[in-house]
Structure 1
Amino acid sequence: MNPLTSAQQMPFETLTQDAYRQLEHAASLKGLLKPFKGKGELEHLAQMAREIEAQLCDLMEAVVQQAGQPPYSLLDIRLVLQNTSAGSTFLRWRTRDFARMGVSVWERQVCNKAVPQVVREGLRRFECNRIALNLQMSVVHSLYRQATTCAIKMDSAERLLRQFTTAVEISR
């Protein structure tokens, strides 16, 4: 029996709503769309974004583990986690020898006639999960960076006002 055809016996576990349930409660735009009174609220928002990033990483790890199981582990590609210099993590396709990276690596496998249709379908589902998780990570990481930057700016504005107020009171 061709080991690649064993995908028919191994059900593909998609990321269901249950996998996202914990994230759903933590990530509410309601907390974003309000007037922020100071840097503390923005720091709290940044902390929430960091926690959501960690949860997204857990989901990404689950997808990577599943993509590392037979029959997918028998292919010439790997789904891997890549940490960026900006401090976030993304899912990337790589060749087994790590010589190439990107969607073209995935496309080559999906278009390979030697790969059974059921395996190609599994690869498509992995790619859809990869796309969605990378989008979510990008948005949440951007929110983190923006909240952190805004907290610094608010702190600077508050500090400048205090300094000016102190200088005015001293000069009286």
Structure 2
Amino acid sequence: MKPIISTQPIPPKTLTPDAYRQLEHSASLKGLLKPFKGKGELDYLAQVARETEAQLCHLMEAVVQQAGQPPYSLLDIRLVLQNTSAGSTFLRWRTRDFARMGVAVWERQVSNKALPQAVREELHRFECERIALNLQMSVVHSLYRQASTCAIKMASAERLLRQFTPAAEISR
């Protein structure tokens, strides 16, 4: 059986250690595992998580762009960005006609016996990158939501305390 696409040069890998270098510094857990003294520190944590989400989105866009180049663009599969109602973004596999979505679409394509092995291996790499980036986005987005919610709760607790604290004690 003739391959469904010709084997063309495979582009370089997108998610190299250099691609993550900037994320490593902003996403340290060192700042998470400490006592928070007030709303400001939680707001800062939420801000860092939001910035990290944006950086992850750039990495996702790079993977989508690479997966959209030949020979992959000749397949009946697309890697796309999907924005969720919760405000985060995830990578999803879709058919070219957008009729189906999910890992089953990728599995069907990779299982095609006419697919050249080099392309199959690169689709595997894209799938592994998709899984890892989606995990990272999920964790960071959850951290953002939790930090934001906790900042609101802490501000509410501080307001309540101020309502019942004599003015002389506030100025101390």
Q: TM-score, normalised by structure 2?
A: 0.93
1:111 to partner: Cα distance:
0.3
1:64 is aligned to 64
Q: Deviations over 1:125-148 (max 9, x none)?
A: 000000000000000000000000
C-alpha distance in 1, partners of 2:73/2:42?
43
1:11 is aligned to 11
1:133 is aligned to 133
1:11 to partner: Cα distance:
3.4
Q: 1:20-99 to 2 correspondence within 5 Å?
A: 20-99=20-99
Q: List structure 1 runs of 4+ shifted beyond 4 angstroms.
A: none
C-alpha distance in 2, partners of 1:2/1:104?
21
Structure 2: runs of 5 or more not aligned: none
Q: CA RMSD in A?
A: 1.7
Q: Deviations over 1:80-126 (max 9, x none)?
A: 00000000000000000000000000000000111111111010000
1:12 to partner: Cα distance:
3.9
- Give the residue type in structure 2 aligned to 1:16: T
C-alpha distance in 1, partners of 2:161/2:117?
66
Q: TM-score, normalised by structure 1?
A: 0.93
1:117 is aligned to 117
- Give the residue type in structure 1 aligned to 2:91: L
C-alpha distance in 1, partners of 2:3/2:69?
15
**Would you say the 8 A contact 2:60–2:81 is kept in 1?**
yes
- The count of aligned residue pairs is 167
1:14 to partner: Cα distance:
4.0
**Would you say the 8 A contact 1:79–1:93 is kept in 2?**
yes
Larger proportion of helix? 1
**Would you say the 8 A contact 2:63–2:126 is kept in 1?**
yes
- Give the residue type in structure 2 aligned to 1:28: S
C-alpha distance in 2, partners of 1:157/1:147?
15
1:3 to partner: Cα distance:
7.7
**Percent identity, aligned pairs only?**
83
